[in-house]
Chains A and B, each alone.
Chain A
Amino acid sequence: MIPLSIFFIIYAIFLLIFLIFAFFSLYHIFKFGFWDFFTYLVTFIFIGGTVIILFITWQSARQIDWSQSLVIFETSQPGSNSLDGLLNP
């Protein structure tokens, strides 16, 4: 049994890494870039796109009951297979 919240923590770690890389990318653009319309536009789209991805993920994730567990192996039930836990919680 694996608590679903573990996957949320893994996602949060991934998000943290993404934010670090995004920070360094923006830092480089602000420090070394020539600010023309194209740079403004792509940077604006990047920030907007990031917010949209996070918002959609959040909206979808809040419908899930993260207190549940994911059953991968059910050895007590004869005839069960490894996908039963995924498909029949």
Chain B
Amino acid sequence: MTLENKFPKKAKDEKFILILRRHWFVFFYNTLFYALLGLIPVGLYFLFKTFSPEIFTNQNTRALIILGAGAYYLFVWGFYYIYFVNHILDVWIVTTYRIINIEQKTLFARSWSEQNLDVVQDVTVSVAGFFPTVLGYGDITIQTAGAKIFFIFKQIPDPYKVSKKIIELVEKFKHRNVNN
């Protein structure tokens, strides 16, 4: 599915300028968390093997361990993929005409909002924390005069550069409207 199919253009001359997702480190950080969750049974295995090895030879406890570990890994794996879906489906798009905010909040909650560039009033960048500062990612809050007052681009790379670009596009859009 191409971008043009998903977002029918408003005008013939509308172009997609920015297509933004969260910074790769956010995904990496959460992946690390799920990897650590996956290592818990391995740690428990070595712990029990050292202090209580008989539980691995007994058929009853073996049965419980196999099903318990199988269920646990499915649980972690499933939640990791749900996290990935929520991560990858959060997209912020800026075109020459509008801002589009798509957020997959949970597996069963999705929001989509868009505003024309002429209602943009204020663009604020927020970079807070050690990793965002070092790796250069943060939030951009766009205040509008439209029905949805705030658009927040979350944890996006190069927020200062992106905010400049948005302001530039807003100016161009307003200038074009005045001339027309």
Contacts and interface: CB of A to CB of B under 8 A. Distances in A.
A33 B78 contact: no
Contacts of A34: 1, 3, 6, 91
Contacts of B78: 18, 21-22, 25
B104 interface: yes
Contacts, number: 104
Interface in A34-89: 34-35, 38-39, 42, 46, 49-50, 53-54, 56-57, 60-61, 64-66, 68, 70, 85-89
B107 A21 contact: yes
Nearest to A29: B85
B108 A4 contact: no
Interface centre among A10, A29, A34, A68 (most CB of B within 10 A): A34
B177 interface: no
A25 B81 contact: yes
Given A61-B66, A87-B61, A89-B58, A32 B74 contact: no
Contacts of A60: 66, 70
How would you classify the secondary structure of chain B's contact residues: helix, strand, loop or mixed?
helix
Q: Report, as a range, how many residues of chain B touch the other chain.
A: 35 or more
B64 interface: yes
Contacts of A10: 67
Contacts of A49: 77
B59 A53 contact: no
B59 A64 contact: yes
Given A21-B82, A34-B1, A57 B67 contact: yes
A62 B110 CA distance: 41
B107 A25 contact: yes
Nearest to B69: A57
Nearest to B80: A46
A50 B74 contact: yes
Contacts of B58: 86-89
Nearest to A56: B70
Contact of B67 (A8, A29, A54): A8
Interface of B: 1, 3, 6, 54-55, 58-64, 66-67, 69-71, 73-75, 77-78, 80-82, 84-85, 88-89, 91, 102, 104, 107-108, 110
Query: Which A-B residue pairs are the 3 nearest by beta carbons?
Result: A57-B70, A11-B67, A60-B66
12 contacts: A7-B67, A21-B107, A28-B89, A29-B89, A32-B89, A32-B110, A34-B1, A39-B88, A53-B77, A56-B70, A64-B63, A86-B58
